[in-house]
Each structure stands twice: as C-alpha cells, then as structure tokens.
Amino acid sequence: MAGYGFEPDGWSHPMGESKFKRLRSEEMLMTCAGVQTAGGRVQIRWEADSAATPMGQLAYFIEFLTLTGLWSGWQDRCPLSYTSPNAPSKADVLGTWMLSILSGHRRYSHVTTIRCDGVNPGLLGMNKVISEDALRRALVAIPEEAGVGWLDGHLRESTAPLLDVPWILDIDTTIKPLYGKQEGAVVSYNPKKPGRPSHSYHTYLMAGLRLVMGVEVKAGNEHSGSHTLPGLLRILDELPAHHRPKMVRGDCGFGSDGIMRELEARAQPYLFKLRLSKNVKRHIERLFRVSGWRDAGQGWEGIDSTLALTGWEDTRRVVVLRRPLRGEMLVAHEDNGQQLLGFIEADRKGGKRITGYEYAVLVTNLDHEILSLGQLYRDRADAENAFDELKNQWGWGGFTTHDLHRCQLSARAVALIYNWWSLFVRLANPEARLEAMTSRPWLMSSVGRRTEHAGQTTITLTGQHAYFDKARQVLMRVSSQLQTWMSEAAEQFNAPSVWLRCCDHLKRTIAAIGPPAPLRLLIQHANRVG
C-alpha cells in the first residue's frame, strides 16, 4: 500500500483524522487499479465526480429549448412551490424529470443513472440532479388541477403554430397493464393481459407530424370512446375555426352515435370504423352480391351505402370495404384482441379454391370517393406507429405511482418532451421523421467532457457511432439557423419569436419536400375535406 502513498486500514492520523477523510482516502485508493486483459495489463481509474456525460450532443437540444423560450416558459409557469429553503429549485426538478424522460426511462428509480452527468444539468441552469424520492415528492407538491392545466397548456402551445395548414386529428385509447395497487387500477378490457388491472390512456394526435395534442389517464374500466369524448370536444372547442382539423379519425371504438352526433353538431368531418356487429354483418350480407363494387386501393374494393343501426338517431353514409383472402390458412383478430386460426378449404380434385373476404366498414360524413376514403383510413396506421413509439421508446405509461395524479402529470410530461424532441429532430432531418430508437443515438449520444479555461467553457464531444460526422454537420446547421433567427428577432421590431420562426420553417420545409409516397394521398385529400 505504501507504494500508492496511503496507509493500511485502521491507521489514524496523529492529529486525529476525521472518519470522512479516512473513508475518502480509502475511496481514492480504489480509484486506480490494474486489471489483466487480453491486450495486456491496464490501469482503471474511477471518478466519482466527473465533468462528463454520455449525452454530449444534448447541448444542441438544450440550445433549441433555450432560444425558443420553451424551457424558460415551462419553468416559469410550473405551479410547484416549496416552503423549505433547502428544497430543490424548479430547474432541478424539471431538469431531472426531462433528462430522465429523454434517456428513455420508465421508472423513477432509473433517475440514479443520470446523477453523475457532469455536463447537461449545468447547461439547463440546474444546481444538481435530484434523487428519485425528491422527484416523487416534488410531483406530489404540484396541485392536481393546476398541474394538469399547466402541462395541457404547454401541449397546446407545442402544436398551435402548426395548425394553420390542413391536418388530421387521430384519437385512440391505449390500455396499460398495472402490477401494483395503483389508484384507478381496475380489471376491465385488456387485450394483451386479460384479467390484469389497467389504466387507459386517451390520446389525441396530430397526424403526419405525430405530435400529441392531449392525453388523459383514466381508470381501466373507462376505456370506451364515451370517455374520450369530453377531451376531444374540449380540444375542438378551444381551437379557432381556421385551426380545426380537416377530419377526426378513429377506430371502431369511436363509431358510436353519441360521438358522431357531437361532431355533426359542430360540422366537424369524421371517419371511423364500425365494429362488425350482427347488424353490420347483415348489412354486408345484403351487399355481398350487389353490383357496383369499386376499386378502393391496395387490393381492396368498396361499395357505398347508408345505414341506421339500432340506437342511431340518423341514417349515415357507410362504406363497406373488402379484399379477397387467398390461401389455405389465415389469422383473424376479434374485437377482444384474441387471434383465431381459420382455414380456407379448397376442392383439390376440381382445382377450385374457395376464396374468403376480409371486411372493414367505415362510417363518415365526408363526400370523398371510395378510393380516397380507403386510403385515408389505411393511413391511420401511422398513428399506431406513434402510439407504439411512445409506449416502447419513451416510457409512456411508466413512472407509475399509487396515486393517479402523478400518473396524469407524467403522461403529459412524456408527451410534451416527445413533442419538443420530435420537432427538433425534424429540424435536423427534414427529409423524414425518425423514431427515438434512431434519433436519440444519432443526435444525443456521444461522450461529452466539459473543461474550463480563462472563463470559457468548452464541451469536447467524442463520437460513439458511425454517423457521428453527419450528426456534427446537421446539429451545427440547426444551431446556426437558431442563432440567426435569434439575432433577427432581436434586431427587428415586432419580429416573430424564434419559436414561431421555427414552426414556420418546419411547415415550409415539410410542405416543399412532401410526405412519403404512401402519405401523399392522405395530405391531398385532407386538403379537400370540407
């Protein structure tokens, strides 16, 4: 031990070294040790406090939040207040929350993995990354009504400047299985975990850009479209007429008379799928041998009709779609999510094959032709991709607590940061939308080391992936653009803010490039709705 300059355990300084100093000495002894590897013996040095981060490129996203005013606005309006002078600041609480969400965490306990970040907390104006318990306590201290209003307001502001172009509103309900004794954990409809208590996430999504306009967490037995309706109407009623969606779109959970009547009263176009109930199946049977089936795209054919189901006050336009199933075996999905195996028998001696059909029935107040309606509904699959990304790549439905209040706040916070990151990534890569599993490693992950010299802070980035050079180019381009907008906003009287300039730029860029080929028809027809 003497070779390292330290004494063995149990040694005490003649002047009386404190326990802390002795433990510190022991810790320092362990910071440098040799290990044997296939490449030879190497020295390993451990640093408890280091000015380094595995998310070095996040500095560019922090600049985006800073110059657009999104970060300061989120802090300023946060209804969190403490009486203790030792309590963490708003920046500490919100910064810890955001860094955890950006890291893809699902649990409060995962916060410990970012507590050694020696770079990004300082860039956010934080004093420290708080503990998981401190974060839980902070969210409890946010009043429920004020907290929901605060986050809902920021969700609206993250999309409002983009709504003056034609857009489509997708609505959906996602079931989140639960494994504890959480408030609102009720056994109800649960397609993946039957019999498991759950929460239901009612979501309102701006199609195309895949931005969340609102989300509500409800008890597991409040999963039907009727529980989505109040939130949907609130979003629609708060929007100016020229910002309303060209169409509200949803699956068979929303094709109910109550929802459609409310939308019809507001002259709001809609497109929903109907469940294949007994009466709907009878309607299909009546049309089976009727002539007039027309091409509906991608192997589908459709026919126009009208229908008044039991409980409907009015007769509505219904489009029946079908496509042949050719083969000997198929997998069908029932409404409860269960998969059933079915067989299509063939007369092999006669060389004949019995062909079955897959059916889908749409209800709408649009006057589009069948081909357009078929494509518009199929493009709803893009919304399913967004919900999948939120659940599996952003920890949506995570950060679970016993009380529903904090679950409400966390669901909204994840959605908000997801929106901010999505827009930032679109600035960096306007050609196409990138999911988090691609964008985070590319635009966030690199070793960043902070150094100080002559009053100047420098962050040195070391790449961790093959596209590091491309990331450098696009991030520097985004930074330059943001700083240009900032300079122009400061020099010009009544100039739009950096945030508004950013949104205008995104609209022009995306419109000029155009959506991917499968979505082009969607946008074209969205422009014609109404």
DSSP 8-state assignment for residue 467 = T
Question: By C-alpha distance, which of 228, 215, 526 is closest to 380?
Answer: 526
* Dihedral over Cα of 141, 147, 150, 151: its sign: positive
Burial 282-293 (b: 16+ CB within 10 A, else e): ebbeebeeeeeb
Sketch the domain layout of the chain as residue ranges: 2-45, 146-273+381-418, 278-366
Query: Which tokens hold the place of 200?
Result: 């239901």
- Tell me how crowded residue 310 is: count the other CB atoms within 10 A of its CB: 8
Q: For 36-86, what is each residue's pLDDT tens digit?
A: 999 999 988 887 777 999 999 999 999 999 999 999 999 999 999 988 888
CA dist 93 → 53, 502, 512 (Å):
19, 27, 40
What backbone phi and psi angles, to 5 degrees, belong to 307? -155, 140
Question: By C-alpha distance, which of 529, 167, 137 is closest to 366?
Answer: 529
Question: Whole-angstrom Cα distance, residue 228 to residue 172?
Answer: 8
Query: Which tokens hold the place of 241?
Result: 């007429």
* Dihedral over Cα of 172, 173, 175, 180: its sign: positive
Query: Which tokens hold the place of 439?
Result: 């964008």
Q: What is the pLDDT along the chain (530 residues), one digit of tens a residue?
A: 444 343 444 444 444 456 655 666 566 555 667 899 999 999 888 877 779 999 999 999 999 999 999 999 999 999 999 888 889 999 999 999 999 999 999 999 999 999 989 999 999 999 999 999 999 999 999 999 999 999 999 999 999 999 988 999 999 998 888 887 888 888 877 777 888 888 899 999 999 889 999 999 998 888 888 999 999 999 999 999 999 999 999 999 899 999 999 999 999 999 999 999 999 999 999 998 889 999 999 999 999 999 999 989 889 999 999 988 765 545 555 544 455 555 555 444 555 555 678 899 999 999 999 999 999 999 998 888 998 899 889 988 788 888 999 999 999 999 999 999 999 999 999 988 899 999 999 999 999 999 998 889 999 999 988 999 999 999 999 999 999 999 998 888 777 899 999 999 998 887 665 444 434 444 454 454 43
Task: Look at strands 32-37 and 300-307 and give their pairing.
Answer: unpaired
> Is 434 in contact with 425 (CB distance < 8 Å)?
yes
Question: Whole-angstrom Cα distance, residue 179 to residue 190?
Answer: 13
Task: Quickly list DSSP for 169-213.
Answer: EEEEEEEEE--S--TT-B----SSSTT--EEEEEEEEETTTTEEE
> Is 204 in contact with 213 (CB distance < 8 Å)?
yes
Q: For 161-220, what is each residue's pLDDT tens digit?
A: 999 889 999 999 988 888 878 888 888 777 778 888 888 999 999 998 899 999 999 988
Within 13 A of 1's CA, how many CA atoms are on the CB side? 11
What backbone phi and psi angles, to 5 degrees, belong to 339? -95, 135
Query: Which tokens hold the place of 328?
Result: 């000997």
Q: Which long-range contacts (CB under 8 A, 24 or more apart) does 214-219 make?
A: 214/152, 214/155, 214/156, 215/155, 215/411, 215/412, 215/415, 216/408, 216/411, 217/184, 217/404, 217/407, 217/408, 217/411, 218/184, 219/184, 219/185, 219/186, 219/404
> Is 486 in contact with 498 (CB distance < 8 Å)?
yes
Q: What is the CATH number of domain 146-273+381-418?
A: 3.30.420.10
Question: Whole-angstrom Cα distance, residue 463 to residue 434?
Answer: 20
